[in-house]
């Protein structure tokens, strides 16, 4: 059997579902192939992000923060709550409900936009043909399309010294499903995912040790901000050990012992549960036939140009499958760009203005270049740094840790980077994104009026501080 579509999308995550919806909006006959079966045993759209990534992790981060607040953060406001208890089953149930609501919402959007959801596995063949194997069947169908968008995403990287083991040694997906608070939790990898998941269980009472092979904490983050983050997270009880290279692991009964080496020699730690969070890799295996013609780059990502075209005319790849930050909002923007490029429009993604966020508390968020990067480039620059301790709204909320920092081109006055650690950093950083998208100078931000009292005033003051004009710092 052969079905012909204008566009076939393989993968129904933020990249794939958004591409399918946008293509349908533009009038293309569109199908999206997604193989995922969720933990309730049902086919599910939404990819990693909605099912086992952004959304469930934020649901657990929010629940665990509320618990931590009730336990430790309300007394200062004069609120007594007595003994606070956590019901993990209820916390997990709420998280699962949020996931189901959102993934069901994507299915409804597919229906509304007349996107055909093909439940099963897709593989790109030569000549833009796609082999489709429905879930639970061996028979395959060959589908044809004018355009194919590959959006198969990524999966966690496993490391040979620490194989996964049931619910004892888990990846990020398993770490979202713990049914009790481990007494001692090990986390391998102090990246975004390791820090977020480690924070969830630390707030609920676990003793958390994070082992990170690299000597520098959060090497992609501005040094001033990453130093502050390390200080705050350590104060919160996360035992972050840098330069700790894991060499092996041994499971005995319900415990796992991890061996590692650091500057002082061979070490080991025993845990009740262990999360391996050392990165993710693109899903290219089983996605491409030998003669599909699509090239991979040196890191096994699908090779694409700046508009996500692969080496095969009419075949595109987006999201975690391709270069650039592995972020849902980057996948979403590439999705719209590709749909519009197929439609004949001249759309582009500004890769220089994509923010990154670590949803710890306080949050860490940044966009653009770090001070180190600008310094290394030799460009003349200036910085402005203002702590939230100088912000009335932050103090009123008892959330005054952290700072806002701007890195600005000395000659052109343009914003090169904005870096935040502090309350609502994920929201505040968007002001930097908007400024950079519009090619704003720091003077543009200086001349704007910001509401008082608001956390955003620290953004304003940091802009003023680049020219020694901030009012509320000495």
Cβ distance to ligand FAD smaller for residue 59 or 86: 59
Detail the DSSP E strand segments found in 189-345: 207-212, 239-242, 245-252, 255-262, 265-271, 273-276, 280-282, 315-317
Q: How large is the C-alpha radius of gyration of the chain?
A: 24
Residue 360 in the binding site for ligand FAD (CB under 6 A): no
Residue 329 in the binding site for ligand FAD (CB under 6 A): yes
Detail the DSSP E strand segments found in 125-272: 129-134, 141-150, 154-156, 169-170, 184-188, 207-212, 239-242, 245-252, 255-262, 265-271
Cβ distance to ligand FAD smaller for residue 321 or 374: 321
Residue 33 in the binding site for ligand FAD (CB under 6 A): yes
The two tokens of residue 92 are 């997990």
User: How far apart are CB 326 and ligand FAD at their closest, in Å?
Assistant: 4
First to last CA, the chain: 74
Q: How many residues at the interface with ligand FAD, by CB under 6 A?
A: 36
Cβ distance to ligand FAD smaller for residue 287 or 425: 287
Interacting residue with ligand FAD among 107, 258, 287, 465 (CB under 6 A)? 287
Residue 57 in the binding site for ligand FAD (CB under 6 A): yes
Which 108-147 residues touch ligand FAD, going by CB under 6 A?
121-122
Measuring CA to CA, how many Å separate 371 from each of 17, 397, 417? 36, 30, 8
- Of 148-156, 251-259, 268-276, 455-463, which part binds ligand FAD (CB under 6 A)? 148-156
Q: Which of 152, 146, 140, 150 is nearest to 128 (CA)?
A: 146
Residue 154 in the binding site for ligand FAD (CB under 6 A): yes
- Of 149-157, 239-247, 255-263, 380-388, which part binds ligand FAD (CB under 6 A)? 149-157
Cβ distance to ligand FAD smaller for residue 53 or 384: 53
Measuring CA to CA, how many Å separate 313 from each of 3, 86, 304, 318, 369? 20, 54, 11, 15, 34
Question: Beta 273-276 vs 169-170: how paired, if at all?
Answer: parallel
- Residue with token string 């499971």: 251
The alpha carbon dihedral of 291, 293, 294, 295 has a sign of positive
Pattern of binders to ligand FAD over 185-214, x per CB under 6 A?
A: --------x---------------------
- The residues annotated as belonging to the active site are 452
Which 63-92 residues touch ligand FAD, going by CB under 6 A?
none
Which 210-239 residues touch ligand FAD, going by CB under 6 A?
none
CB count within 10 Å of CB 468 equals 9
Residue 34 in the binding site for ligand FAD (CB under 6 A): yes
Cβ distance to ligand FAD smaller for residue 177 or 443: 177
HSE toward the beta carbon, residue 312, CA cutoff 13 A: 23
Interacting residue with ligand FAD among 64, 92, 172, 458 (CB under 6 A)? 172
User: How far apart are CB 262 and ligand FAD at their closest, in Å?
Assistant: 26
Interacting residue with ligand FAD among 328, 339, 385, 463 (CB under 6 A)? 328
| E strand or H helix that includes residue 7 | strand 2-10
Residue 327 in the binding site for ligand FAD (CB under 6 A): yes
Q: Which of 413, 464, 459 is nearest to 440 (CA)?
A: 413
User: How far apart are CB 191 and ligand FAD at their closest, in Å?
Assistant: 10
Interacting residue with ligand FAD among 7, 9, 10, 188 (CB under 6 A)? 10
Residue 257, SS3 per DSSP: strand
Interacting residue with ligand FAD among 11, 186, 198, 387 (CB under 6 A)? 11
Sites of contact with ligand FAD (CB under 6 A) = 10-16, 33-36, 47-49, 53-54, 57, 121-122, 151-154, 172, 193, 283, 286-287, 319-320, 326-329, 331, 359
């Amino acid at each position: 059997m052969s079905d012909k579509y204008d566009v076939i999308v393989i993968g129904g995550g933020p990249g794939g579902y958004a591409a399918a919806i946008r293509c349908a909006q533009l009038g293309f006959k569109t199908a999206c192939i997604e193989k995922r079966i969720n933990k309730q045993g049902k086919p599910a759209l939404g990819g990693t992000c909605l099912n086992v990534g952004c959304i469930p992790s934020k649901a657990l981060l929010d629940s665990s923060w509320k618990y931590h607040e009730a336990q430790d953060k309300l007394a200062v406001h004069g609120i007594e709550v007595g003994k606070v208890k956590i019901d993990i089953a209820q916390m997990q149930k709420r998280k699962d409900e949020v996931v189901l609501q959102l993934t069901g919402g994507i299915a409804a959007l597919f229906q509304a936009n007349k996107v055909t959801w093909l439940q099963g596995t897709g593989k790109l063949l030569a000549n833009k043909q796609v082999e489709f194997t429905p879930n639970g069947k061996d028979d395959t169908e060959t589908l044809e399309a004018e355009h194919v968008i590959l959006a198969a995403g990524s999966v966690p990287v496993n490391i040979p010294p620490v194989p996964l083991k049931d619910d004892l040694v888990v990846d990020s997906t398993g770490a979202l499903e713990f049914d009790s608070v481990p007494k001692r939790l090990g986390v391998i990898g102090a990246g975004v995912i390791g820090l977020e998941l480690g924070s969830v269980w630390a707030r609920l009472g676990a003793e958390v040790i994070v082992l990170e092979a690299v000597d520098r904490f959060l090497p992609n983050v501005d040094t001033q901000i990453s130093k502050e983050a390390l200080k705050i997270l350590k104060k919160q009880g996360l035992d972050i050990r840098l330069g700790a290279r894991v060499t092996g692991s041994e499971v005995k009964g319900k415990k796992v012992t991890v061996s590692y080496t650091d500057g002082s020699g061979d070490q080991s730690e025993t845990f009740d549960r262990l999360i391996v969070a050392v990165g993710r890799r693109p899903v290219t295996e089983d996605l491409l036939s030998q003669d599909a013609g699509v090239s991979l780059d040196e890191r096994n990502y699908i090779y694409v140009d700046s508009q996500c075209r692969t080496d095969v005319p009419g075949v595109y790849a987006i999201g975690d499958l391709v270069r650039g930050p592995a972020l849902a909002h980057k996948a979403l923007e590439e999705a719209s760009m590709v749909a519009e490029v197929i439609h004949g429009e001249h759309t582009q993604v500004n890769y220089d203005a994509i923010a990154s966020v670590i949803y710890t508390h306080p949050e860490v968020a940044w966009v653009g270049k770090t001070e180190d990067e600008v310094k290394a480039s030799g460009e003349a620059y200036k910085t402005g740094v203002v702590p939230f301790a100088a912000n009335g709204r932050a103090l009123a909320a008892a959330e005054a840790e952290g700072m806002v920092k701007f890195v600005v081109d000395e000659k052109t006055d343009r914003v090169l980077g904005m870096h935040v650690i502090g309350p609502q950093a994920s929201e505040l950083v968007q002001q930097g994104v908007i400024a950079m998208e519009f090619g704003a100078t720091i003077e543009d931000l200086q001349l704007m009026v910001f509401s008082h009292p608001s956390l955003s005033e620290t953004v304003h003051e940091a802009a003023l501080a680049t020219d020694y004009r901030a009012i509320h710092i000495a």
